[in-house]
Structure 1
Amino acid sequence: MTSDKVTHAVAELKRSDIRITPQRYAILEYLIDSDNHPTADEIYQALVSRFPNMSVATVYNNLRLFTKIGFVKEMAYGDASSRFDFTSQQHYHAICESCGKIVDTFYPGLEDVEVAVEKLTGFQITEHRMELYGLCPECQKRLENE
């Protein structure tokens, strides 16, 4: 499944006349394989041993490119570092308030909410996101044992 996503993303990059460098491929592959919504620095730390000449700026630049193309979403939460999410379908996030773990949650789209908000406010809605906050099972257990 992962290789299908990488293949599809690479094909999309080629259609946009974007060169597929080994670093770009590795960043994309890492994002697709990762289920923890990594920061740019986490991606850099994971790949620097394979690409010693790669800089954090290279990671950021590629993430910005992937975001612009539309298959990566930047998730900014207050003052913390942005996290990045490879997105092949609309989904939402459950976020642990204790440890910061983020879990993808697939639920029917909320496009009807967008339409209602447009009618109520006159805004032209371009996108939405939903985040649910609470405690993950591991943090719940930890708190029970304290």
Structure 2
Amino acid sequence: MNSIKKHSRKREAILEKICSTTTHPSAVWVYEELRKEIPDLSLGTVYRNISVFKDEGLIISVGVVNGQERFDGNVEEHTHFICLDCGDVLDVDAALDPSFTEKVEAENNVDVLFRQLTFYGRCLNCSNKSQKAFSK
């Protein structure tokens, strides 16, 4: 039996907050931002709704960064960069070559349903901080 998800102000605010930012927020960030507007919002409500949004394909998980799962309202295929120092998650303008997926499928006898590519390293700010600390 399919359950019908009721629309609520809180549910819509949570989804809007995730989809309106490019910071790839955590549930805690969403909660802290929204409780300014919705004082009776609970962190549990944020987590439950995020789980529903992921299941419905309305948002994606970028992965766990600095101990917190991060989310993206852009569900179109795209690439990310995660800074290993500060934890920033950035969208990267890099086209994913379809022939790579075809090669993976052919060589491994699999059917790829989706793919995610994430680069890891240091953002410009952290690289500059590291170079300044090293040069002292």
Tell me, in whole angstroms, the C-alpha distance in 1 between the residues paired with 2:99 and 2:74: 21
TM-score (norm 2): 0.85
Flag structure 2 segments of 5+ consecutive residues without an equivalent: none
SS of 2:17's partner is helix
Matched with 1:6 is none
Matched with 1:116 is 103
Matched with 1:30 is 17
Matched, 1:127 2:76: no
Q: Which has the higher helix share?
A: 1
Count of equivalent residues? 131
Matched, 1:69 2:75: no
Measured after TM superposition, the shift of residue 18 of structure 1 is 3.8
Identity %: 27
Amino acid at match of 1:119: A
User: Relative contact order, CA 8 A, sep 6+: which one is greater?
Assistant: 2
Tell me, in whole angstroms, the C-alpha distance in 2 between the residues paired with 1:79 and 1:97: 8
TM-score (norm 1): 0.79
User: 8 Å contact 1:66–1:72 — kept in the other structure?
Assistant: yes
Measured after TM superposition, the shift of residue 17 of structure 1 is 5.6
Amino acid at match of 2:92: T
Flag structure 1 segments of 5+ consecutive residues without an equivalent: 1-15
